[in-house]
Homo-oligomer: A and B are copies of this chain.
Amino acid sequence: MAGSDSILSLDILAEKFARLGGVGKRTAVRLAFSVLDLTDEEAEAFAEAILDAKRSIHRCPVCQNLTDREICPVCADPARDRSTVCVVQDTKSLLAIEKVREYNGLYHVLHGLISPMQGITPDRIRLKELIERVSADESVKEVIIATNPTAEGEATAMYIARLLKPSGIKVTRIANGIPVGGELEYADSYTLQRAFEGRREY
Protein backbone atom coordinates (compact mmCIF):
# COMPACT_ATOMS: atom_id res chain seq x y z
CA MET A 1 0.00 0.00 0.00
CA ALA A 2 3.12 2.19 0.11
CA GLY A 3 2.72 5.44 -1.75
CA SER A 4 -1.03 5.07 -2.08
CA ASP A 5 -1.46 7.95 0.36
CA SER A 6 0.63 10.47 -1.54
CA ILE A 7 -0.22 13.07 -4.17
CA LEU A 8 3.01 13.52 -6.08
CA SER A 9 2.55 17.10 -7.28
CA LEU A 10 1.47 18.19 -3.80
CA ASP A 11 4.54 16.57 -2.23
CA ILE A 12 6.75 18.34 -4.76
CA LEU A 13 5.11 21.69 -4.03
CA ALA A 14 5.46 21.17 -0.25
CA GLU A 15 9.13 20.40 -0.76
CA LYS A 16 9.59 23.72 -2.60
CA PHE A 17 7.92 25.62 0.25
CA ALA A 18 10.22 23.85 2.71
CA ARG A 19 13.22 25.40 0.95
CA LEU A 20 12.14 28.87 1.97
CA GLY A 21 13.80 30.22 5.12
CA GLY A 22 12.10 29.27 8.37
CA VAL A 23 9.49 26.98 6.83
CA GLY A 24 9.25 23.58 8.56
CA LYS A 25 7.87 20.40 7.02
CA ARG A 26 4.40 20.71 8.54
CA THR A 27 4.05 24.36 7.53
CA ALA A 28 5.23 23.48 4.02
CA VAL A 29 2.46 20.88 3.66
CA ARG A 30 -0.11 23.36 4.99
CA LEU A 31 1.04 26.03 2.50
CA ALA A 32 0.97 23.52 -0.38
CA PHE A 33 -2.63 22.61 0.51
CA SER A 34 -3.63 26.25 0.61
CA VAL A 35 -2.31 26.74 -2.93
CA LEU A 36 -5.07 24.32 -3.96
CA ASP A 37 -7.61 26.73 -2.48
CA LEU A 38 -6.45 29.52 -4.81
CA THR A 39 -8.31 30.10 -8.06
CA ASP A 40 -6.44 29.18 -11.25
CA GLU A 41 -5.83 32.87 -11.91
CA GLU A 42 -4.45 33.45 -8.42
CA ALA A 43 -2.12 30.46 -8.72
CA GLU A 44 -0.83 31.72 -12.07
CA ALA A 45 -0.30 35.22 -10.66
CA PHE A 46 1.57 33.67 -7.71
CA ALA A 47 3.90 31.67 -9.97
CA GLU A 48 4.44 34.74 -12.15
CA ALA A 49 5.23 36.90 -9.10
CA ILE A 50 7.96 34.46 -8.05
CA LEU A 51 9.58 34.55 -11.49
CA ASP A 52 9.14 38.33 -11.73
CA ALA A 53 10.76 38.98 -8.37
CA LYS A 54 13.73 36.76 -9.22
CA ARG A 55 14.06 38.24 -12.70
CA SER A 56 13.76 41.90 -11.83
CA ILE A 57 15.39 42.22 -8.41
CA HIS A 58 19.14 42.77 -8.24
CA ARG A 59 21.56 44.74 -6.08
CA CYS A 60 21.84 48.50 -6.63
CA PRO A 61 25.38 49.11 -7.99
CA VAL A 62 25.77 52.11 -5.66
CA CYS A 63 24.47 50.92 -2.27
CA GLN A 64 23.88 47.15 -2.79
CA ASN A 65 20.23 47.52 -1.79
CA LEU A 66 17.79 45.12 -3.47
CA THR A 67 15.89 46.91 -6.20
CA ASP A 68 13.99 46.29 -9.40
CA ARG A 69 15.28 49.49 -11.03
CA GLU A 70 18.73 50.16 -12.47
CA ILE A 71 19.74 52.37 -9.52
CA CYS A 72 17.64 51.97 -6.35
CA PRO A 73 15.05 54.71 -5.63
CA VAL A 74 17.00 55.99 -2.60
CA CYS A 75 20.28 56.46 -4.54
CA ALA A 76 18.38 57.89 -7.52
CA ASP A 77 16.51 60.46 -5.41
CA PRO A 78 18.16 63.91 -5.84
CA ALA A 79 16.54 65.11 -2.59
CA ARG A 80 18.54 62.68 -0.44
CA ASP A 81 21.53 64.00 1.51
CA ARG A 82 24.62 62.54 -0.13
CA SER A 83 26.96 63.37 2.74
CA THR A 84 25.64 60.57 5.00
CA VAL A 85 25.76 56.82 4.38
CA CYS A 86 23.87 54.53 6.75
CA VAL A 87 25.28 50.99 6.86
CA VAL A 88 22.69 48.25 7.45
CA GLN A 89 22.96 44.49 7.44
CA ASP A 90 20.08 43.80 5.07
CA THR A 91 17.23 45.27 3.05
CA LYS A 92 14.77 44.53 5.85
CA SER A 93 16.69 46.94 8.14
CA LEU A 94 16.69 49.55 5.37
CA LEU A 95 12.93 49.25 4.91
CA ALA A 96 12.42 49.59 8.69
CA ILE A 97 14.44 52.84 8.73
CA GLU A 98 12.69 54.20 5.63
CA LYS A 99 9.32 53.62 7.29
CA VAL A 100 10.21 56.17 10.01
CA ARG A 101 10.74 58.87 7.33
CA GLU A 102 13.32 60.57 9.56
CA TYR A 103 16.60 59.64 7.91
CA ASN A 104 17.30 61.44 4.64
CA GLY A 105 20.79 60.21 3.73
CA LEU A 106 21.93 57.28 1.63
CA TYR A 107 22.48 53.62 2.59
CA HIS A 108 24.93 50.81 2.20
CA VAL A 109 23.55 47.28 2.54
CA LEU A 110 26.07 44.68 3.76
CA HIS A 111 23.90 41.61 3.11
CA GLY A 112 25.14 39.92 6.25
CA LEU A 113 27.30 40.40 9.33
CA ILE A 114 30.79 39.18 10.10
CA SER A 115 30.46 35.96 12.11
CA PRO A 116 33.55 33.80 12.67
CA MET A 117 31.30 31.21 14.38
CA GLN A 118 29.29 30.75 11.18
CA GLY A 119 32.35 31.12 8.97
CA ILE A 120 31.22 34.50 7.61
CA THR A 121 34.47 36.37 7.03
CA PRO A 122 34.59 40.09 6.06
CA ASP A 123 34.99 39.20 2.36
CA ARG A 124 31.61 37.36 2.43
CA ILE A 125 29.62 40.56 2.99
CA ARG A 126 29.50 43.74 0.88
CA LEU A 127 32.24 45.51 2.85
CA LYS A 128 34.80 46.05 0.08
CA GLU A 129 32.11 47.92 -1.89
CA LEU A 130 31.52 50.23 1.10
CA ILE A 131 35.21 51.07 1.52
CA GLU A 132 35.67 51.68 -2.20
CA ARG A 133 32.58 53.83 -2.39
CA VAL A 134 33.46 55.95 0.63
CA SER A 135 37.03 56.41 -0.60
CA ALA A 136 35.97 57.37 -4.11
CA ASP A 137 33.06 59.65 -3.21
CA GLU A 138 34.29 62.88 -1.56
CA SER A 139 30.76 64.03 -0.72
CA VAL A 140 30.49 61.37 2.02
CA LYS A 141 31.18 63.07 5.38
CA GLU A 142 29.63 60.60 7.81
CA VAL A 143 29.06 56.85 7.94
CA ILE A 144 26.33 55.82 10.39
CA ILE A 145 26.61 52.16 11.32
CA ALA A 146 23.13 50.78 11.94
CA THR A 147 23.77 47.06 12.19
CA ASN A 148 21.65 45.23 14.79
CA PRO A 149 22.98 45.56 18.37
CA THR A 150 23.74 41.85 18.57
CA ALA A 151 27.18 40.31 19.08
CA GLU A 152 27.74 39.99 15.33
CA GLY A 153 26.27 43.43 14.64
CA GLU A 154 28.55 45.11 17.19
CA ALA A 155 31.62 43.21 15.99
CA THR A 156 30.88 44.17 12.38
CA ALA A 157 30.36 47.80 13.44
CA MET A 158 33.71 47.85 15.25
CA TYR A 159 35.40 46.27 12.26
CA ILE A 160 34.00 48.88 9.87
CA ALA A 161 34.90 51.73 12.23
CA ARG A 162 38.49 50.51 12.33
CA LEU A 163 38.65 50.10 8.57
CA LEU A 164 37.38 53.63 7.96
CA LYS A 165 39.49 55.34 10.65
CA PRO A 166 42.46 56.14 8.30
CA SER A 167 40.10 57.88 5.85
CA GLY A 168 39.25 60.57 8.45
CA ILE A 169 35.54 60.23 7.73
CA LYS A 170 33.26 60.60 10.76
CA VAL A 171 31.99 57.14 11.76
CA THR A 172 29.01 56.93 14.14
CA ARG A 173 26.96 54.12 15.68
CA ILE A 174 23.22 54.37 16.26
CA ALA A 175 22.40 54.61 19.97
CA ASN A 176 21.15 51.72 22.05
CA GLY A 177 17.58 52.92 21.85
CA ILE A 178 16.95 49.56 20.32
CA PRO A 179 16.82 46.94 23.09
CA VAL A 180 20.18 45.16 23.23
CA GLY A 181 19.95 41.70 21.68
CA GLY A 182 16.88 42.68 19.65
CA GLU A 183 16.55 43.12 15.94
CA LEU A 184 16.25 46.40 14.05
CA GLU A 185 13.61 44.90 11.82
CA TYR A 186 11.15 44.64 14.73
CA ALA A 187 11.84 48.01 16.39
CA ASP A 188 8.99 50.50 16.61
CA SER A 189 9.33 53.86 14.85
CA TYR A 190 9.91 55.83 18.06
CA THR A 191 12.74 53.59 19.24
CA LEU A 192 14.35 53.75 15.82
CA GLN A 193 14.09 57.55 15.81
CA ARG A 194 15.73 57.78 19.26
CA ALA A 195 18.45 55.47 18.07
CA PHE A 196 19.25 57.82 15.20
CA GLU A 197 19.17 60.96 17.39
CA GLY A 198 21.44 59.45 20.05
CA ARG A 199 24.15 58.22 17.68
CA ARG A 200 27.70 58.67 19.05
CA GLU A 201 31.05 59.03 17.33
CA TYR A 202 33.56 56.21 17.50
Contact = CB atoms under 8 A, between A and B. Distances in A.
Given A12-B52, A74-B4, A92 B21 contact: no
A21 B79 CA distance: 41
Contacts of A23: 31, 34
Contacts of A4: 73-74, 77, 98
Given A1-B79, A7-B57, A34 B52 contact: no
Given A43-B51, A91-B33, A57 B9 contact: yes
Interface centre among A3, A46, A92, A95 (most CB of B within 10 A): A46
Given A20-B35, A35-B54, A54-B35, A73 B43 contact: no
Interface residues of A, number: 59
A50 B46 contact: yes
B36 A1 contact: no
A45 B14 CA distance: 12
17 contacts: A1-B79, A5-B74, A5-B98, A7-B57, A7-B91, A9-B53, A9-B68, A10-B66, A13-B50, A16-B45, A19-B46, A20-B31, A21-B31, A36-B57, A36-B66, A43-B50, A47-B50
Interface of A: 1, 3-10, 12-13, 15-16, 19-23, 29-38, 40, 42-54, 56-57, 66-68, 73-74, 77, 79, 91-92, 94-95, 98-99, 101, 104
